[in-house]
Amino acid sequence: MFIFRTLILLAGVAFGSYALAQQTFSSDLADFRLQTVAEGLNHPWSLAFLPDGSKLITERAGQLRLIKNGKLQPEPIPGVPELVVAGQGGLLDVLLHPEFADNRLLFLSYAHGNSEGMTTRVARARFDGERLQDVEVIFEALPRSGTSRHFAGRMEFDSDGNLYISVGDRGDKPRAQDTRDDAGGVHRLTINGEPAPGNPFLTDDSVNDTFFTYGNRNIQGMTRHPQTGEIWTHEHGPRGGDEVNVLKAGANYGWPKVTYGIGYSGIPISDKTTMPGITDPLHYWDPSIAPSGIAFYTGDLFPEWQGDVFVGALKMRKLVRLRFDNKDVVQEEDLLPDLNERIRAVNMGPDGALWLLTDSSKGKVYRMVPAK
């Protein structure tokens, strides 16, 4: 059970210059505070930490925002590529190049529309501290469609500098098993948009060269394991069947051939939860929590959480802590159920704190720090 109380601070606080309301919580392993760093954001979706301590935040409504010196800057950053805001689509992830401090490169995923329909795009740009420059589209999922859901859009780099991009099934289940269709999988590219060297299907004409995995419904959490370098993801199931997975080259994760969930109408989608040739999840939720955002805790502020996985939940409005022993979940704890916020993103900050984004028209940026 969780107990929380609200403290109104009138001056600076111990872990930074954030002087806004703080909420204190108790959990099984550690007591912590939530510091409100920024608020009034329009459906914030993603967060990136700049070398100078500033933060970039995407708003699904189409704006890229900057927190500088602890304050949300009033004007959005200009230069964002043309995009469409519809349904679940808009401006999605922002990811810095691993050598951003030297090359100033970042990557944006977003929904794009034209006369042929909508799709997921990724653009590379250079951020000079004030605006985006040299914006270039490096990936576009094809074919387009008229649906406005399941764009996915989460991105991550591996230790070799390859870029992973998730694309949802766009609400059309069979697309996730069609390997000539970019929907319903994870693509691995170079920063120039070419298929990454060593991709598993480069010599298979029946599969698009950029595919790394397929059979994925709608991945909205992606992170790199701090020790093994593996890319971990989670994805939305329908009514039940949200999954945590480790990406394996060439793997088929089964959607919609297998699932732990059922259709929103209550009609079964499949009578199988596993089958030969399908990679099973490490963990699943039933009923669905609608996961979004994932991070390993690697900081020093909470030694009790070292190595644990944190997952945000939209539908269930909570933060889930998972402890793994190898690839088996040995502990699961629900945090922040009384906060009543849709948690969209979870990030491990360079300051040792966990950072959260809440999904609403008045979204917030929270920072989790020790209670004392």
Positions annotated as catalytic residues are 150
Q: Looking up tokens 């088996």, which residue turns up?
A: 328
Q: Which residues have CB under 8 Å from 2's CB, separation 6+?
A: 25, 26, 27, 334, 335, 336, 337, 338
Q: Which residues have CB under 8 Å from 367's CB, separation 6+?
A: 15, 16, 18, 34, 35, 37, 349, 353, 354, 355, 356
- Rounded Cα distance, 213 and 249, in Å: 6
Answer whether 9's CB lies under 8 Å from 21's CB.
Answer: yes
- Name which of 76, 109, 67, 70 is nearest 90 in CA terms: 109
Question: What 3-state DSSP class applies to 174?
Answer: helix
One-letter amino acid identity for 2? F
Answer whether 326's CB lies under 8 Å from 281's CB.
Answer: no
- Name which of 212, 205, 209, 218 is nearest 188 in CA terms: 212
- Rounded Cα distance, 346 and 338, in Å: 18
Q: Which residues have CB under 8 Å from 228's CB, separation 6+?
A: none
